[in-house]
Amino acid sequence: MSNNFPPWNKDKPEESLDLIYDWAVKTTLENIDWYDRKKKPRRLWSQGLRALSIIFAAVGALCPLIDATGIVKTPGDPENNLILAQWGYVFLAVAASVAGFDYYFGHSSGWMRFIVTQISLERSLKEFQYDWVILKTQEGGNSSNTQMFLQRAKDFTLQVENIIKQETDVWVREFQSNITQLEKVLKTEIEARKTGSIKVTIKNCADFEKVEIRLNDNFVKEFVGVSEGVINTVAPGSYELTAIGTKEGNETKDSRVIEVQAGTMAFAEFTLSTD
């Protein structure tokens, strides 16, 4: 861009004013051209990402409806559906991820900012060009009032810089806000993905040969000669915890629902029947 301000020749004020005018107009046109070029890839990114997000969201919303009709079956097993309803969640998650990518990288917002800034610059340039001609006309075709022309050129160039600064300030605030929000989302996600644990106590474990512990009907631990133990790395959520005591070939079972929180330990105590 043309950053070098034209030198002033006191012996040729009219020629110097023309140089200043040309410099101001050329600099503004270069700024307008820059925004025009930079907005095009952002427009493509924005439209492409928004289209993908809409498509994935639509497919995700249709999956449960298609699944409910039962028209899609698992190959070789016509009695079982493909459980499209579950795939619907996947498509909706992808749609949200695509929209989030656009949001955090600012493609759509950047496109809008560049359009508004370009229009503002074009409007200011036209206003300056008209005012310059009006001043020329008022002076009877000469530039005797040099200070008036210089002041108008100064006001115009500062106005252009202010428009660009406003766009930059908006970008900075948006960038900082997105970074802060992304950090919060990641922190929340990390906290949510922390595993918990369950401490199981069998108060009358000594009355049995062994006690088997199952979590959602999956074997996780066996107590032999001990009355308590810890089940580690359990994802947050609700579980059915079952204790099965064995004595002389007979089994005694007791179950309860346990809520596991991220990063915490849940406690479960059993007193199995010995009858």
Residue 112 identity:
M
* CA 89 – CA 127 distance, rounded (Å): 54
Helical H segments across the chain, by residue range: 13-69, 84-105, 107-138, 146-193
Distances (CA, A) of 173 to 112, 186, 270: 15, 20, 56
* CA 58 – CA 64 distance, rounded (Å): 11
- pLDDT tens profile 210-246: 999 999 888 998 998 888 999 988 888 889 999 999 9
- pLDDT tens profile 168-183: 999 998 888 888 887 7
Mean pLDDT of 87-100: 86
* CA 115 – CA 40 distance, rounded (Å): 10
Strand partners, 83: none
- Tell me the CA end-to-end span of the chain in Å, nearest whole number: 92
In the prediction, which pLDDT does 249 show? 84
User: Could you tell me what percent of the chain has a pLDDT over 70?
Assistant: 88
Q: Would you place residue 79 in the very low, low, confident or very high pLDDT band (cuts 50, 70, 90)?
A: very low
* CA 213 – CA 205 distance, rounded (Å): 12
* CA 75 – CA 53 distance, rounded (Å): 30
* CA 194 – CA 20 distance, rounded (Å): 64
In the prediction, which pLDDT does 78 show? 47
* CA 203 – CA 213 distance, rounded (Å): 14
In the prediction, which pLDDT does 241 show? 94
In the prediction, which pLDDT does 75 show? 52
Radius of gyration of the chain from its Cα atoms, rounded to whole angstroms: 36
* CA 203 – CA 188 distance, rounded (Å): 37
